[in-house]
Structure 1
Amino acid sequence: MKKAIVASLFLCLGISNLNAQVTFKPGVRGGLNLSTITQTEGTYRPDFYLGVFGAINFTKVYTLQPEINYSRQGVNDILLYDYNSNSNEYYLKNDDISVNYISLSAMNKFTIANRFQIMVGPTLDFVVGKDSEYIYSDADLAVNFGLGYKFPNGISVEARFKKGIAEVLYNNYYYNDNDNYFWGDWNTNNVFQLGVSYAFNLKSKNK
């Protein structure tokens, strides 16, 4: 009985210490997107991303960071096999494709030496705008990997790579008379992100 009471006391103390360490900081983030769609032989498209987050710091090392981001992506200089209804002919052209997403992410951040950060987590993207009929998927599932550096004033710089999993581009019509396809069979999003973030300190200052 005494052992059970002692164990319960240690458990309560551990939970109390854990709760005392957990903090929450909201923040904003934004920066440069360099995106492409795989197996299209296109070039990287420069654009931007903006978002908000809530950093839940469980320990000095581990932080869970849910995010809502607006991400402008796509691919430039892609080769299209298009149709001209006036001349009733197919023709080749180079064009740019833009697709915009609202992204819901859950990043796991591991802080080393109070400054350096390693990030990994899933993202669910929803299409909110596009300029091509060949972007046929309304959603994408992706995995994020990243590195960052946190300054004492709440500002962080970070670099991420977001790898899409779902096929986002429909390519069955992109072939010539010899059935030579200009795209591969599985076209997914690849995005490099370079940016900054700022976490607000909600602690009240003692006078």
Structure 2
Amino acid sequence: MKKLFLGLAMSAGTLSFAQEQAASSASPVRFGLKAGLNVATISSDDAKAKAGIYGGVFANIPVAGNFSLQPEVLYSGMGAKNKDNPGIRLNLDYISFPVMVQYNIYPAVFLEAGPQFSFAIDKRVKNDTRSMDATRVYNGFDFGLGLGAGYYFEQGFGVTVRYVAGLTNIIENSQGDAIRNSLFQVGIAYKF
């Protein structure tokens, strides 16, 4: 619970910083929406990729020259399928708080990198007939590092891609090898 409050406080602080920057910056802060497809898996020998969705809001804050800071609040469906029995799925739903530093190579093209703080809102193992709560097995917090790129059209619409490598073990009280999330995102965004 403390980690959830920490994440919310960081987001609120970043967004209030964004409002201050808007008043003092020549380039205005732009807010936007984004959504798309997740292709997620976990670092386990019996796991294979599973499709999911993501969506949320962001603030793009110009900080210096071609650099900007982009905090986001996203719903993100992650997890994996069982390699031997694809009907068995691990569904991990998170509220994620990425904080990306973006560098504009050209006015419409950017590269980005930064941390992602994720808080689990649902953890379930499902098959075709049953859904089991996995809250006691999987941690409620995940920390990762994201790398991505994007292109914005003149009308404010853009396409984005991002890879997020999980850095923390998602298994509660694990005695063996660490199991980490791995996520590839492709989607669209719109800046107001």
What TM-score do the two structures reach when normalised by structure 2?
0.76
Contact 1:98–1:131 under 8 Å retained in 2: yes
Does residue 151 of structure 1 match 2:156?
A: no
**What is the aligned counterpart of 1:99 among 92, 108, 113?**
92
CA separation of 1:32 and 1:19: change in aligned 2, threshold 3 A:
same
1: CA distance between counterparts of 2:174 and 2:140? 18
Does residue 127 of structure 1 match 2:120?
A: yes
What is the aligned partner in structure 2 of residue 74 from structure 1? Answer: 79
- Deviation of residue 21 (structure 1)? 2.0
1: CA distance between counterparts of 2:169 and 2:83? 16
- Deviation of residue 105 (structure 1)? 1.4
What is the aligned partner in structure 2 of residue 47 from structure 1? Answer: 52
Contact 1:145–1:161 under 8 Å retained in 2: yes
**What is the aligned counterpart of 1:57 among 43, 59, 62?**
62
Task: Give me the CA root mean square deviation.
Answer: 2.4
2: CA distance between counterparts of 1:100 and 1:39? 18
1: CA distance between counterparts of 2:173 and 2:46? 13
Contact 2:118–2:141 under 8 Å retained in 1: yes
What is the aligned partner in structure 1 of residue 108 from structure 2? Answer: 115
What TM-score do the two structures reach when normalised by structure 1?
0.71
2: CA distance between counterparts of 1:116 and 1:55? 14
What is the aligned partner in structure 2 of residue 196 from structure 1? Answer: 188
- Deviation of residue 130 (structure 1)? 1.2
CA distances 1:158-189 after superposition (whole Å, capped 9, x unpaired)? 1100011111135979xxxxxxxxxx711100
Q: Tell me how many residue pairs correspond in the alignment.
A: 161
- Deviation of residue 113 (structure 1)? 1.7
CA distances 1:72-126 after superposition (whole Å, capped 9, x unpaired)? 000012569xxxxxxxxxxxx9721101000011111111121211010111100
CA separation of 1:187 and 1:79: change in aligned 2, threshold 3 A:
farther
CA separation of 1:32 and 1:158: change in aligned 2, threshold 3 A:
same
1: CA distance between counterparts of 2:174 and 2:147? 31
CA distances 1:17-66 after superposition (whole Å, capped 9, x unpaired)? x9342411110000000000002331100010001001112345111111
- Deviation of residue 135 (structure 1)? 4.0
Deviates more, 1:120-129 or 1:39-48: 39-48
What is the aligned partner in structure 2 of residue 185 from structure 1? Answer: 177
CA separation of 1:48 and 1:135: change in aligned 2, threshold 3 A:
farther
What is the aligned partner in structure 1 of residue 166 from structure 2? Answer: 164
Structure 1, gaps ≥5 residues long: 1-17, 81-92, 174-183, 201-207
2: CA distance between counterparts of 1:58 and 1:171? 41
Contact 1:25–1:54 under 8 Å retained in 2: yes
For 1:74, the aligned partner's letter is G
1: CA distance between counterparts of 2:174 and 2:185? 30
Structure 2, gaps ≥5 residues long: 1-22, 126-133
**What is the aligned counterpart of 2:43 among 24, 38, 44?**
38
